[in-house]
């Protein structure tokens, strides 16, 4: 298994740092490798799908602003005829509330240095380096997105054993989140152990409805809960203590996230992305006498835009 090597005395390696990003892009941008990075994403969709489920992408300039979701403003109604204009008068003015926050997308990326002997022995070495780096970058973004939601969530500890009506706990969590935010969570993310405990608990139910619910897949459970999507995370990453689940195995997260959302909608989390010259990611190739450095870079920032309504179940 390859490892990221940090040279002695270089505290920030292997994070990409551009002294002059425009000059670097003009000189070393590799169009073929950038196009390969797009194709690789199409072939390996699971990580991107999980990231988009956790924190949907919103296009933004490097520096941007957004309005923190305010449940009162987002769900306001014109009470007592305030939307009715009197003859000869102007319409009443509605003013949106909620703090406007300044933000920026962060420069992220990694470099892998290949020996030219490696490239000679393996003509696909550079493409494989792109794929490897993109896997690392996607997993890093997923860890950030999960961490943001996990930290914001209101937790409830639950025991799902044989005969427990686990789905009633999920329904209650969604309802509580809706009462808090004014908008129900529309996505539920399961760690793998939590999903298994749900299935086993319902299979042990003496009630026909509970036993039948044990056979529901993610789409079926979403329909039962009245939400848009359910996902079970099975992906792992290599951490310092060995392989670790990208989403904590015994947790269930319920939150609101919208695909194709704008900067000011009242969802809980967004991933602001600034396009590069080659799309969401750019690949650079710098050749030296004995080595070739392959860099994959992108601009993004995972932001908790509202903490209201995020719920978490810790399952034992």
Q: According to the model, what pLDDT value does residue 304 have?
A: 93
Q: According to the model, what pLDDT value does residue 99 have?
A: 64
Q: Higher pLDDT residue, 263 or 283?
A: 283
Q: What are phi and psi of 282, to 5 degrees?
A: -125, 145
Q: According to the model, what pLDDT value does residue 1 have?
A: 44
Q: What is the pTM of this model?
A: 0.78
Q: According to the model, what pLDDT value does residue 11 have?
A: 40
Is residue 49 predicted with pLDDT exceeding 80?
yes
Q: Higher pLDDT residue, 247 or 1?
A: 247
């Amino acid at each position: 298994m390859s490892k990221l090597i940090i040279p002695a005395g270089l505290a920030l390696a292997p994070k990409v740092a551009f002294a002059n990003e425009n000059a670097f892009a003009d000189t070393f941008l590799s169009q073929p490798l950038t196009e390969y990075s797009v194709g690789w994403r199409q072939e390996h969709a699971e990580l991107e799908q999980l990231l988009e489920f956790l924190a949907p992408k919103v296009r933004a300039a490097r520096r941007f602003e957004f309005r923190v979701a305010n449940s009162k403003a987002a769900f306001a109604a014109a009470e007592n005829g305030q939307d009715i204009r009197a003859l000869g008068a102007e319409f009443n003015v509605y003013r949106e509330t909620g703090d406007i926050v300044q933000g920026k997308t962060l420069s992220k990326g990694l470099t892998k240095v290949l020996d030219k002997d490696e490239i000679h022995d393996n003509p696909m070495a550079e493409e494989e380096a792109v794929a490897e780096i993109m896997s690392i970058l996607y997993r890093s973004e997923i860890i950030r997105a999960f961490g943001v939601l996990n930290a914001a969530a209101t937790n409830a500890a639950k025991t799902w054993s044989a005969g427990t009506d686990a789905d009633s706990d999920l329904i209650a969590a969604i309802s509580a989140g809706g009462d808090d935010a004014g908008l129900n969570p529309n996505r539920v993310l399961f760690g793998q152990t939590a999903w298994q405990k749900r299935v086993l608990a319902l299979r042990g139910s003496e009630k026909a409805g509970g036993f039948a619910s044990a056979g529901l897949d993610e789409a079926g459970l979403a329909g039962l809960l009245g939400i848009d999507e359910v996902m079970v995370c099975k992906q792992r990453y290599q951490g310092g203590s060995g392989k670790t689940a990208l989403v904590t195995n015994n947790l269930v997260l319920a939150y609101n996230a919208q695909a194709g959302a704008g900067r000011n909608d009242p969802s809980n989390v967004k991933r602001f992305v600034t396009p590069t010259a080659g799309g969401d990611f750019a690949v650079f190739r710098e050749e030296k006498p004995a080595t070739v450095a392959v860099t994959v870079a992108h601009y993004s920032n995972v932001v908790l835009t509202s903490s209201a309504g995020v719920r978490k179940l810790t399952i034992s």
